[in-house]
Structure 1
Amino acid sequence: MTPTAETPADRLVLEAVGFSLSTLPANARIAIAFSGGVDSSVLLDAAVRVAGASRCLALHVHHGLSAHADAWLAHCEAFARERGVEFAAERVEVSRDAGVSVEAAARDARYRALEDMCASRDVATLWLAQHADDQAETVLLQLLRGAGLAGLAAMAPEYLPANASATRVRPLLHLLRAQLEQYAGERALQWIDDESNADTRYARNALRHEVTPALAVHFPGFRDALARTAAHAASAQRLLDALARIDMESASRDEGRALSHDALLAFDDDRALNLMRYWMRTLGFVAASSARLGDALRQLREIGAAGEGHGLRIDHAGHALRSYRGLVYWEAGDSNEPADETALAARAISELAWQGESIWRLPQWRGTFVFADADVAAGDSDTIPASVLRRAVLSARSRSGGERMRTSEARNAPSRTLKNLFQERGIPAWKRDVPLLYAGDDLLFVPLLGVNRAALPEQVDEAESRVRIVWREDLLIA
């Protein structure tokens, strides 16, 4: 039953939610990650009371890990509907691969699903229901794992992850679990008790049920102390990030996708490792262990700034560390395999029966082929007769390996592999993922390399109009 008078727990929760709401633009919508547990139930209930149901969106992720998952989904939808709140849910598959923590896999899948649901609904703020007890447990876990400052900083009250569209906000982070439970009881809320929360085989549950109760007896203020530790670590990490941004200015190449080998090795180990951690975060990688990063830096120093990193054996997050012509970069794949000589990922083939179009947009490649009138008289030689573009259907395809072309105008010049041509021109692997333009079965044009002259007719009508093809990435389209 709803209390007739305000209670301390009621006041604390509403003030916390009201403060987070005050930082948002007027009428901005708020997505609430809603598992149906007591914490998220309190957050959703309080958000509706403070912001109004029309501004709230309840998002539920169905992991399928429990036999009760379908019932939880139905409960969450009913809870939201009772309050007039829009509800959305997404089912995810959680990796059960050997060596992969189910907790970590479920968490990653959950956040990906929440981000996707926010992005598809154009919601820029995602509220999460973690509280002070969660924060204390996180700091303890990171301490026991030997984490660095970034780990000890634990959960930020507010932050925008790399490559995400929704800012994650934790309005209840300074409140205790007991205060949320008191609020829920006073409001007569119904919530889900996940049976897995009692399984002490999971590290967080072991801390919650066996360690923190003992700490509370002997160190009653341990939660506040650990929260201060997290705040100090976060402050120190911000300073390290500021230093890394300064170092990135001198070491970054190709808009941050690579580092200068010379610049990286000029730093001492501590500074170089700090830069590498920061760089990997900007690329969206999960954090690597200190041992792996230390091994990477050791190998980079051994090959020297001028050396090629064919012997590098550093794999992380599905990528391999590479060193090529003075640059250090991450490439999709395994370091035991040769460096990328084919496209990073196959894309669907697109076709066009060309009838004089000036542009051909290719969304899957995030770019456009531009067909421009050429002026041969002015020395514009890397061109194609219009009749060649019309003789067969044009297609844009991914590299599959082994493609060859002839860039020389000499008829007796040999064709060469795209791999050799890219290497000869010093084009790094991450720029080689480009669409190959075919006319029928003939490779006609390769971005960054030009026209395949072997595909052109020997006899050309000098009066025929000619076309220059240009590949423009989306970023360059006006």
Structure 2
Amino acid sequence: MNSTAETPADRLVLEAVGFSLSALAADARIAIAFSGGVDSSVLLDAAVRVAGASRCFALHVHHGLSAHADAWLAHCEAFARERGVEFAAEHVEVSRDAGVSVEAAARDARYRALDGMCASRGVATLWLAQHADDQAETVLLQLLRGAGLAGLAAMAPEYLPAGASATRVRPLLHLLRAQLEQYASERALHWIDDESNADTRYARNALRHEVTPALAVHFPGFRDALARTAAHAASAQRLLDALAHIDMEEASRDEGRALSHDALLALDDDRALNLMRYWMRALGLVAASSARLGDALRQLREIGAAGEGHGLRIDHAGHALRSYRGLVYWEAGDSSEPADETTLAARAVSELAWQGESIWRLPQWRGTFIFADAGVAPGDPDTIPASVLQRAVLSARSRSGGERMRTSEARNAPSRTLKNLFQERGIPAWKRDVPLLYIGDDLLFVPLLGVNRAALPEQVDEAESRVKIVWREDLLIA
């Protein structure tokens, strides 16, 4: 669906949207992040003119930070309906914790909500309305914060964040705010003016209202210059990422969840730090400061490749960097306990009255218990009589610390703590976050360790059918 462009601003906006649309399949649907401000109003209006209303979704996030938030939601829904566009909204809670930037918390909550709405609708493309002024402000903010190349690269025209279902596209990134405002005025669009945009206590607003106007007077082309800086930084970051990918192939262990201590320490400091930053991004962790990463690498070198590193602890954003048996890994939770004593975060208990089911899906654990028919195999220590599973309700529980089990078939053999068994088998801490399978109040099975022989009856019918229990993580399920 095309429209004849009548003015320079009209033509520029429609061409920008058309260019982004041309990269998509003819029937691909597009989600537009729609706040109701002038920028997203222009993007939604132009998307409808170029792609047609039937291909567009308008997605709104209600932060609840303003007294006008409900009115904004109503405005956005009406704006979308007027254009025949399907509309959806989601309310989010924004963290007000001390030390947490409200801007950053709102942004994180917004993107999580947008990604969720895209995923639930099967939409693979999310259009965002940031423009050239936003890009210039982002580069300036990152420069003032002392950011590295990844920060200076600012906002990419198109990218798929780790864990997101929709590719984020910014069709208007090379256009100026003034050009969008001209389009909106010519189209007689009505939009929301968020009062918080005038609050210069926020760093971005201070730049927008007090710094960039002065730059525009003395350096009229500063936006283009900063856009080139972002492009150069992005190019350099891609080269660093390519190098880190090469190093990752050598150092990666356990599908990237850990690094080889030896391989990491074999690199010089610059290259090792580059690998660590790349690895953290791949794991979805918040970027750490240069000082924190430098301290981590220093400590790793001090304990040496042969050291167990139990004393190593670098806390960062809800995780702790640890070293164990030649591997370096991030352990969830800012615990003060050593890695092999970690108490893992509790999950909701799940229960099952087993009646011969072959699988028991546990979404909160991202995995599945499989109950495989093993026939009549009384001598197999990894199987149990089917009647045991029907003795009481099965439950999957988190570790709470101090659990014990007996892996030996000998009745007089002592039970041992799960901690000791995990250590003995060299199972690293990040793999120990597994569901414990109970039958009634008795621990029956522990993934990676096996059956608790103490939970089995002393006398069994050797002719009884037996079951083999297996735990499979989602990634391993066919």
Equivalent residues of 2:5, 2:14 under 8 A apart: no
Provide the secondary structure at the position in 1 that maps to 2:320.
strand
Deviations, residues 13-62 of structure 1 (Å, cap 9, x unaligned) = 00000000000111111111111111111111000000001111111111
338-347 vs 384-393, greater mean Cα deviation: 338-347
Cα shift at 1:341: 4.2
Cα distance 1:244–1:459, how it changes in 2: closer, same or farther (>3 A)? same
Q: How many angstroms does 1:5 deviate by?
A: 6.5
Residues 363 and 2 of structure 1, relative CA distance in 2, 3 Å threshold = closer
- Once the two structures are superposed, residues 131-177 of structure 1 have per-residue CA deviations (whole angstroms, 9 ceiling, x without a partner) of 11111111111111111100110000000001111100000000011
Residue 259 of structure 2: SS of its match in structure 1? strand
- Residue range with higher mean Cα deviation, 335-344 or 87-96: 335-344
Give, in angstroms, the shift of residue 198 of structure 1: 1.2
Equivalent position SS for 2:377: helix
Q: Distance in 2 between matches of 1:19 and 1:450?
A: 57
C-alpha distance in 2 between matches for 1:349 and 1:213: 57
In the TM superposition, residue 80 of structure 1 has moved relative to its aligned partner by 0.8
Q: Contact between 2:3 and 2:49, CA under 8 Å: does it hold in 1?
A: no
Q: Would you say the 8 A contact 1:342–1:433 is kept in 2?
A: no
Residues 171-180 or 427-436, more deviating: 427-436
Deviation at 1:379, TM superposition (A): 5.3
For the Cα contact (< 8 Å) 2:258–2:329, is it kept in 1?
A: yes
1:206 Cα deviation after fit: 1.1
Match of 1:443, SS state, is strand
Q: CA deviation at 1:335?
A: 4.9
Within 1, Cα distance between the matches of 2:361 and 2:134? 48
Most deviating of 151-160 and 104-113 = 104-113
TM-superposed CA distance for 1:302, in Å, is 1.2
Moved more, 452-461 or 48-57: 452-461
Equivalenced residues, count: 478
After superposing the two structures, state which structure 1 stretch, 372-381 or 224-233, moved more: 372-381
CA contact (8 A) 1:314 1:335 kept: no
C-alpha deviations, 1:179-204, integer Å up to 9, x for none? Answer: 11111110011111111111111111
Kept in 2: contact 1:386–1:465 (CA 8 A) = yes
For the 8 Å contact 1:394–1:439, the answer to whether it is kept is yes
Deviates more, 1:308-317 or 1:192-201: 308-317
Change (3 A) 1:324 1:4: closer
How far 1:343 moved relative to its partner? 6.3
Secondary structure at the counterpart of residue 459 of structure 1: coil
TM-score (norm 2): 0.96
CA–CA separation in structure 2 for the residues paired with 1:68 and 1:18: 33
Asked if 2 retains the 8 angstrom alpha-carbon contact of 1:331 and 1:340, the reply is no
**Alpha-carbon offset, residue 76 of structure 1:** 0.9
Q: Quote the offset at 1:436 in angstroms.
A: 1.5
Deviation at 1:453, TM superposition (A): 0.9
User: Bigger CA drift: 202-211 or 234-243?
Assistant: 202-211
Distance (whole Å) between structure 1 residues aligned to residue 47 and residue 169 of structure 2: 13
CA distance in 2, matches of 1:55, 1:343: 48
TM-score scaled by length of structure 1: 0.96
Q: Note closer, same or farther for the CA distance 1:265–1:4 as it changes in structure 2 (3 Å cut).
A: closer
SS in structure 2 at match of 1:243 = helix
Q: Report which stretch shifted further, 154-163 or 63-72.
A: 63-72
d(CA) in 2 for partners of 1:203, 1:363: 40
Q: Which moved more, 1:8-17 or 1:282-291?
A: 282-291
Query: Are 1:131 and 2:131 counterparts?
Result: yes
Conserved in 1, the CA contact under 8 Å of 2:392 and 2:440?
A: yes
Is the Cα contact below 8 Å between 1:365 and 1:435 reproduced in 2?
A: yes
Corresponding residue of 1:97? 97
| Whole-Å separation in 2 of the counterparts to 1:386 and 1:2 | 66
**d(CA) in 1 for partners of 2:54, 2:451:** 57
CA distance in 2, matches of 1:145, 1:398: 41
Deviations 1:63-112 (A, max 9, x none): 11111111111111111111111111111111111111111111111111
Cα distance, 1:389–1:82 mapped onto 2, change above 3 Å: same
Which piece of structure 1 moves more, 87-96 or 126-135?
A: 87-96
Q: Aligned pair in 2 of structure 1 residues 372, 36: CA closer, same or farther (>3 Å)? A: closer
Alpha-carbon distance, 1:4 to partner: 8.9
- Checking the alignment, whether the CA contact within 8 Å between 2:251 and 2:259 is kept in structure 1 is yes
**Identity, % of aligned pairs?**
94
Alpha-carbon shift at residue 467 of structure 1 (Å): 2.4
Q: CA deviation at 1:359?
A: 3.0
Contact 1:3/1:186 (8 A) holds in 2? no
Deviation at 1:402, TM superposition (A): 1.2
> Which deviates the most, 274-283 or 104-113?
104-113
Q: Secondary structure at the match of 1:377?
A: coil
Using a 3 Å threshold, how does the CA distance of structure 1 residues 342 and 351 change in structure 2: closer, same or farther?
farther
The alpha-carbon distance between structure 1 residues 71 and 2, as it changes in their structure 2 partners (threshold 3 A), is farther
The one-character-per-residue Cα deviations of 1:423-470 (angstroms, maximum 9, x if unpaired) are 110111221122212121111111111111111222233333332222
Query: What is the Cα deviation at residue 390 of structure 1?
Result: 2.4
Q: Check conservation: 2:125, 2:167, Cα contact below 8 A.
A: yes
Question: CA–CA distance in 2 between the matches of 1:68 and 1:266?
Answer: 57
1:215-265 C-alpha deviation (Å, 9 max, x unpaired)? 111111111111101000000000000001111001111111111111111
Q: Which moved more, 1:310-319 or 1:235-244?
A: 310-319
Preserved contact between residue 342 and residue 399 of structure 1 (Cα < 8 Å)? no
- Is the CA contact 2:62–2:91 (under 8 Å) kept in the aligned structure 1? yes
Contact residue 198 and residue 205 of structure 2 kept, 8 A:
yes
Following TM superposition, by how much is the alpha carbon of 1:340 offset from its aligned partner in structure 2, in angstroms? Answer: 5.5
CA distance in 2, matches of 1:234, 1:43: 25
| 1:253-297 alpha-carbon deviations (Å, 9 max, x no partner) | 111111111111110110000000000001111211111111111
Q: 2:2–2:50: 8 Å Cα contact kept in structure 1?
A: no
Q: Give the direction of change, closer, same or farther, for the CA distance of 1:2–1:469 in structure 2 (3 Å limit).
A: closer
Of 108-117 and 168-177, more deviation after overlay is shown by: 108-117
Match of 2:15 in 1: 15
Distance 1:378 1:459, change over 3 A: closer
Match of 1:189 in 2: 189
2:161 counterpart SS class: coil
Asked whether the 8 Å contact 1:357–1:371 carries over to 2, the reply is yes
Q: Distance in 2 between matches of 1:199 and 1:219?
A: 25
Q: Displacement, 1:475? A: 2.8
Bigger mean CA offset, 443-452 vs 392-401: 392-401
CA 96–319 in structure 1, closer or farther in 2 if over 3 Å, else same: same
- Residues 357, 189 of structure 1: CA spacing in aligned structure 2 closer, same or farther, 3 A cutoff? closer
Q: Does 1:225 align with 2:222?
A: no
C-alpha change, 1:375 and 1:59, in structure 2 (3 Å) is closer
Contact 1:313 1:335 in 2 (8 A): no
| SS state at 2:271 partner | helix
Match status 1:336 vs 2:361: no
Q: Which ranges of structure 2 fall in alignment gaps of 5 or more residues? A: none
In structure 1, runs of 5+ residues without a counterpart are none
Q: Is the 8 A contact 1:139 1:154 kept in 2?
A: yes
Cα deviation 1:319-338 (Å, max 9, x = unaligned): 11111111111111115233
Contact 1:3/1:187 (8 A) holds in 2: no
